């Protein structure tokens, strides 16, 4: 019984630990307080990605199209390869609008997941609360739609965003093959759902 | 809206469309002749192999999204779209299933339960042949444009109109489809141009696998 109690307390303490502590980050201090994600920030660029989505072992694909229409406004559209539009969202600074969605996708929970993921992808500037270091990576702790996010930079290049809850990673956004402020490859992985979105730039 | 205002808008829209496309409406005889040419052509078309260029137009983008590939069709209802550029993706429409090969990832989609998908599938096959002259499903208007024929099929079906409000099909003089344009209610569209078309070469059924 005592052993069980100790294990439970141990798990409880572990479960409630912070994400930075669990990951072994070292806290650092800087005079700056803003970080930037420039991957969808150019108004003159049509961002077009071939998307592969694996949800509960079902695979489907399409094209993800992102465009910055004006300051703080993005359009995010998903079509099939053959051009059929599946959804069309507008993100304004503090607003979100569904311009179009096919009936099969018109489900509250799905829209909420997509809205949060894309909001993370397109948000350009954030104030951060804490700064850490691990190896050569700089990590910034910030809050987006009231959820804790950690931004990982390698030499000024954003390589990963983690959305966390307590000490746990909930969603990760990985950016790779970065050139001229375009991430050629983006992977969005959910840890509490069987959902993975892989994006490959085609423009 | 006031009637005079509405008439004015109609007149303006009419002139804009006449000017921008330089298209003239066909008379009844010309329309009947085209319809019979296309129907005959479709009836004698057993197979089609063609290259295609697809342009997806979204109003908010600076450029259309252009993809290219090959189409294979075998009468009555086998069809394969193979995209080769800028990515590899192919889809075979067979019976009531879509067989997809997405850069090596294979999957099937059963469309048997979806009336809408079945209808779209049938329309895609018919539009490849050009034979969509169904007055119950569409209101149909005929135009001449630079030596070609343009037929606009505007959907009467409320459910279909939510996805595609009109098909605009351009035919060459032989009655072959040169271009299919599928227009969404928002005005955004998908345009497919066919080139290097070969008709009635024998095609093995094994081509239509994924």
For the stretch B21-73, pLDDT in tens is: 578 999 999 999 999 999 999 889 999 999 999 999 999 999 999 999 999 99
Does residue B2 have a pLDDT over 80? no
What is the average pLDDT across A42-53?
96
Instruction: Report CB contact under 8 Å: A83, B60.
Output: no
Q: Which of A46-60, B23-37, B109-123, B137-151 has the least mean pLDDT? A: B109-123
Instruction: Report CB contact under 8 Å: A63, B65.
Output: yes
- What pLDDT score does B7 carry? 61
Best residue in B69, B86, B164 to probe A by mutation, most A CBs within 10 Å? Answer: B86
Render A56-117 in DSSP notation, one character per residue. Answer: TTEEEEEEEEEEEEETTEEEEEEE-TTS-EEEEEEEETTEEEEEEE-GGG--HHHHHHHHHH
What is the average pLDDT across A161-178?
96
Instruction: Report CB contact under 8 Å: A102, B86.
Output: no
What is the average pLDDT across B66-86?
93
Chain A CA closest to residue B56: A83
Comparing A9 with B207, which gets the higher pLDDT?
Answer: B207
What is the average pLDDT across B103-124?
75
The residue extents of the domains of chain A are 19-201
Set of chain A residues whose Cβ sits within 8 Å of the Cβ of B182: 83
- What pLDDT score does B14 carry? 52
- What pLDDT score does A44 carry? 96
Vertex B55: Cα angle to B163 and A53 (nearest 5): 65
Q: Give the C-alpha separation, B150 to B22, whole Å.
A: 11
Contacts of B68-74 with C-beta under 8 Å, sequence gap 24+, read B71/B128, B71/B194, B72/B47, B72/B48, B72/B203, B72/B207, B72/B208, B73/B45, B73/B47, B73/B48, B73/B49, B73/B125, B73/B128, B73/B129, B74/B46, B74/B47, B74/B203, B74/B205, B74/B207, B74/B208
Tokens coding B10? 């109609």
The domain defined by A19-201 folds into outer membrane lipoprotein receptor (LolB), chain A (2.50.20)
Answer yes or no: CATH 2.50.20.10 is held by domain B23-208. Answer: yes
- What pLDDT score does B109 carry? 80
Does residue B177 have a pLDDT over 50? yes
Chain B CA closest to residue A51: B102
pLDDT band for position A57 (cuts 50, 70, 90): confident
Does residue B183 have a pLDDT over 50? yes
- What pLDDT score does A122 carry? 96
Vertex B46: Cα angle to B200 and B34 (nearest 5): 95
Candidates B126, B173, B118; CA nearest to B149 is B173
pLDDT band for position B165 (cuts 50, 70, 90): very high
pLDDT band for position B12 (cuts 50, 70, 90): low
Which residues from A are below 8 Å from B when comparing CB atoms? Answer: 44, 46, 48, 50, 52, 58-61, 63, 65, 67, 69, 75, 77, 79, 81-85, 88, 99-100, 102, 200, 202-203
What is the average pLDDT across B167-195?
93
CA B147 and chain centroid, separation? 20
For the stretch A68-91, pLDDT in tens is: 999 999 999 999 998 989 899 999
Does residue A16 have a pLDDT over 60? no
Would you give the end-to-end CA distance of chain B in angstroms?
53
pLDDT band for position B128 (cuts 50, 70, 90): confident
The residue extents of the domains of chain B are 23-208
Over chain B, what is the mean pLDDT? 86
What is the residue whose two structure tokens read 């307390």?
A9
Comparing B53 with A16, which gets the higher pLDDT?
Answer: B53
What is the residue whose two structure tokens read 């490859």?
A185
CA–CA distance from B150 to each of B17, B106, B157, B202 (Å)?
A: 13, 37, 21, 29
């Amino acid at each position: 019984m005592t052993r069980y109690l100790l294990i439970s307390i141990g798990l409880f303490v572990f479960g409630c630990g912070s994400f930075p502590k669990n990951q072994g980050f070292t806290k650092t201090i800087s005079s700056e307080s803003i970080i930037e994600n420039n991957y969808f920030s150019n108004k003159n660029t049509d961002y077009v990605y071939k998307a592969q989505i694996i949800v509960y072992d079902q695979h489907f694909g399409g094209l993800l199209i992102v465009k910055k229409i004006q300051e703080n406004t993005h359009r995010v559209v998903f079509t099939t390869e053959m051009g059929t539009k599946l959804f069309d969202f507008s993100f304004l600074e503090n607003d979100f609008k569904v311009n179009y969605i096919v009936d099969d996708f018109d489900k509250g929970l799905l829209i909420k997941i997509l809205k949060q993921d894309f909001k993370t992808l397109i948000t350009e500037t954030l104030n951060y609360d804490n700064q850490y270091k691990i190896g050569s990576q700089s990590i910034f702790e910030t809050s987006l739609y009231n959820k804790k996010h950690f931004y990982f930079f390698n030499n000024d290049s954003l390589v990963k965003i983690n959305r966390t809850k307590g000490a746990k990673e909930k969603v990760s956004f990985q950016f790779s093959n970065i050139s001229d402020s375009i991430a050629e490859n983006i992977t969005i992985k959910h840890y509490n759902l069987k959902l993975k979105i892989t994006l490959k730039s085609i423009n | 809206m006031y009637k005079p205002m509405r008439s004015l808008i109609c007149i303006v829209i009419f002139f804009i469309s006449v000017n921008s496309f330089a298209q003239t409406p066909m008379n009844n005889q010309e329309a009947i002749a085209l319809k019979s040419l296309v129907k005959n052509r479709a009836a004698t078309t057993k197979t089609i192999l063609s290259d295609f260029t697809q342009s997806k137009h979204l109003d908010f983008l600076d450029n259309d999204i252009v993809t290219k590939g090959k189409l294979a069709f075998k009468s009555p209802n086998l069809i394969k779209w193979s995209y080769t550029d800028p990515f590899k993706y192919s889809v075979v429409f067979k019976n009531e299933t879509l067989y997809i090969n997405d850069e090596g990832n294979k999957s099937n989609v059963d469309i048997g339960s979806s009336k809408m998908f079945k209808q779209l599938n049938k329309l895609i096959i018919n539009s490849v042949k050009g034979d969509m002259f169904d007055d119950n499903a569409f209101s149909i208007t005929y135009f001449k444009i630079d030596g070609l024929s343009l037929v606009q099929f505007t959907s009467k079906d409320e459910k279909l109109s939510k996805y595609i409000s009109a098909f605009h099909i351009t035919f060459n003089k032989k009655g072959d489809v040169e271009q299919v344009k599928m227009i969404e209610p928002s005005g955004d569209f998908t345009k497919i141009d066919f080139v290097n078309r070969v008709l009635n070469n024998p095609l093995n059924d094994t081509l239509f696998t994924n």
